[in-house]
Amino acid sequence: MTVEHTGQVAEHAAGQAAESGGGATQYIQHHLHHLQFKVGDSAFMTLNLDTIFFTVLLAGLFLIVFLTTARRATAGVPGKFQAFVESIVGFVDGMVRETFHGRSKLIAPLALTIFCLVFLMNFMDMIPVDWLPGAWMKGHEVAGNDPHHAYLRVVPTADLNTTLGLSLTVFLLIQVFGISHKGIGTFTKEAFTAPFHATGPVGMVLLAPFNLLLRVIEELVRPLSLTLRLFGNMYAGELIFILIALMTWNAAFSSGLTYVMAPLQFVSGFVWTAFHILVITLQAFIFMMLTIVYLSMAAESH
């Protein structure tokens, strides 16, 4: 990440914000605002077009890379890129074999898709924070529109809608796996008889409401934890990059501090970028592993 260039763009964009009366606060708000399209007059039916665009773009990139590599794969000594792709596939396949104890042809491709797609969406946070939004604003200005209303966010997983959608998909798959592996009868029975078991019919009837309540809580906590963990980490990472980009602009108002803050901005940006690479990879891995674990638990009998 070229922090110096990011700082220069931040100074220009924040300077434009200051001219319109908002200053650094408006600069931050501008970066955290989505390119949106409202369907009708309902605020509920608002689409974040930037999130949709980058999600589809990255999903297409994932498919193109892996399908092309699979079709061009050669026996014997593979090329460097083929070896890289095969290492990812082998790593995910190993995790699935160790974690999922049932039989399913869907789990390994699903885990690979989740890991790669979430990682790619997270990796968008590595792009300097003002590059794409700045280019989008410049394009609006060239087209004769107001650049201050040209919004663009490039990290899909920093949007709560994305992480919630992924988590709800996993939640639905858990129910489908449970029913397909156990049958509707056993699946329903477990909801009323686990984790507290009773030997007689009276005890089963008395414990059934408590078991059902615990089952509902358990099922609802899973997508909630998946959603908030991924969203919280990526939103915080994006916000920290924005604050780092503002360092030299804030110092510009104090004589002599720019030369002090510019090196500090570079060091801060470099350190946070290096740390954030670990964060985005770890979050993709955690989301994948929890999905495998939840599906494995759904396929097993209590």
**Rounded Cα gap, residues 109 and 14, in angstroms:** 44
When divided into structural domains, the chain yields a total of: 1
Mean pLDDT, range 73-79, rounded to an integer: 82
pLDDT for residue 146 = 87
Output the six-digit token pair for 195. 């984790």
Average pLDDT taken over every residue of the chain: 86
Residue 183 region by backbone torsions, left for phi larger than 0, else alpha for psi between -120 and 50, else beta: left
Q: Is pLDDT above 60 for 181? A: yes
Tokens of 283: 């979050």
Active site residues: 225, 229, 233
Q: How confident is the model at residue 302 (pLDDT cuts 50, 70, 90)?
A: low
Contacts 24+ apart (CB under 8 A), 35-40: 35/151, 35/152, 35/153, 36/151
* Beta-carbon-side half-sphere exposure of residue 298 (alpha carbons within 13 Å): 25
Instruction: Give pLDDT, residue 3.
Output: 41
pLDDT tens column, 194-234: 888 877 787 788 888 998 999 999 999 999 999 999 999 99
23 sits in the region (left: phi over 0; alpha: psi -120 to 50; else beta) called: left
Residue 165 belongs to what domain range?
A: 3-299
Tell me the residue type at 248. T
Strand partners, 37: 47
Q: Is residue 259 within 8 Å of residue 7, measured between CB atoms?
A: no
Q: How confident is the model at residue 250 (pLDDT cuts 50, 70, 90)?
A: low
Q: Could you give the 3-state DSSP secondary structure of residue 104?
A: coil
